Structure formats: structure tokens, C-alpha cells
Structure 1
Amino acid sequence: MGIKPSHEHRIIATAGAFSMTTTRPLTHQALFWLKNSGDAEDRAKLIAGVRSLSAIPQVKSLHVGVPASTEARDVVDHSWAVSETMTFDSVDDQTIYQTHPIHQKFIEECSCLWSEVRVIDIVDAP
């Protein structure tokens, strides 16, 4: 499936792509792969950790998911264990989230559970 980063990969708009201003809403998506693939206890711990991020004031919405039981197709990736989709009012709010103590605690307590994380930050197309 394309790029396989070792820890975190962020796809963001850059020069030549869509301009990201600090006042546009942002959607932040992350996919997590467990070190112990298929371990229900580790998945439950990670889900609880992700849900704790909703206490950060800048997080306007949070959806925590697991892979759907859809048909296998070349373009569908069912290999991840947990996803998060959150929204922010702005890129600035997402920046604050990155250094917020609750987010830092989540990383400290839960990073031992995952082997890989992929992040995609999205703003609306003009």
C-alpha cells in the first residue's frame, strides 16, 4: 500500500497544492497498527487512550473506529487496528493539540502498543 513509514507520516498541503490557512477547519485522521496484532486487550487500551483525547478543548469532534468487515479489494486496507478522526477549527488548534499534556500523556502511555501510525491532515479543497 504505497508509503510504509516506520512511525508517523503526515500528508499535508504544500506549495503547489492547496493552501492551508490557519483559519480553515482541519480534519486529522490517524491509523494505528498494533505491535501485538489481533490482541483484544491492547486494542481496548488503545481505543481508551484515543478516546481520552476528546478532553482536549481544541478537539471539536472525535470518532474512534476499527476496520469494517467489507469485501477484500486491492484498494481497501484492513490491516490497521484502530483509527481516529478528529476535527479542529483551525490548523493553529491542531498545533496546540500536538503539544497538549493530554496528547503527550496518550503518546507516553500508548505508544508502546503500536508498531506504526499513519496520519493524514485534511482541509477542504477550495
Structure 2
Amino acid sequence: MLVHTVYFWLKPELTAAQLADFRRGVESLGTIKAVDKIYVGTPAKTERRPIIDSSYSFALTVLCKDVAAHDAYQVDPIHLAFIAKFKTFWTKVQIYDAE
């Protein structure tokens, strides 16, 4: 299994409608054939501790069966359309991949 985790820092001036549109866009990534499961969320309202980074706007976790599935996800037209549509929404993206 490959776990692809993406954190998005969005521009603070985005409207509520833009944020809702972004979330729908992120959730659409779950329709990609190479994806087994996705999880989408915002920072949890857990107790603040020095080791927790809750500065991001949205988190996406994508589960793929292997590296080949991950690679297919990366070039899928749905993924590429998401990037093209929303890349102006973020100021930073950080990705962690684990096997």
C-alpha cells in the first residue's frame, strides 16, 4: 500500500463559496480509478500542543494499492484538472508519501 498525504495552505482571502468548491474538488479525487480510498479534512479541534501543526487549511490522504497505482493517480485527467483549476487557491502544498 502507498499512503499519499497532501496538506494545503489556502489563501486567506478565499470566499466561503471558493472553499466549498475547493473541498468538492479535493473530494472528486476519490473517483480516480487508481484510488482505493481517500480522507479529506481540516485541522481537528484537538488540544493545541507544540508538536501539532494545525496551520494548514485542508488535508488529503489517498490510499493506493502500490506505487504503480500512485503513479497512475498522478497523471489521471481528474487529478490534472484539479491542479489546473485550484492551483491559484493555495500558497503552499506539502506532500508525504509512505509505503
Query: Which runs of structure 2 are paired with 1:21-36 in the superposition (5 Å)?
Result: 25-36=1-12
Gaps of 5+ in 1: 1-24
- Mapped partners of 1:43, 1:67: distance in 2: 14
Greater C-alpha radius of gyration:
1
Q: Match for 2:21 among 45, 63, 69?
A: 45
TM-score, normalised with respect to structure 2: 0.93
Matched, 1:102 2:78: yes
1:62 match: secondary structure: strand
| Regions of 4+ moved over 4 Å | none
1:57 corresponds to: 33
Corresponding position of 1:85: 61
Same amino acid, percent of matched pairs:
35
Aligned length: 99
Q: Partner letter of residue 85 of structure 1?
A: T
Structure with more of its chain in helix, by fraction = 2
Unaligned runs of 5+ in 2: none
How far apart in 1 are the matches of 2:78 and 2:39?
A: 17
Matched-pair contact (CA < 8 Å) for 1:46–1:82:
no
User: Judging changes above 3 Å, is the alpha-carbon distance between structure 1 residues 39 and 78 closer, same or farther for their aligned structure 2 residues?
Assistant: farther
Q: CA RMSD in A?
A: 1.4
Measure the CA separation in 2 of the matches of 1:104 and 1:86.
15
What's the secondary structure of 1:68's corresponding residue?
A: coil
* 8 A contact 2:10–2:57 mirrored in 1: yes
1:122: which partner in 2?
98
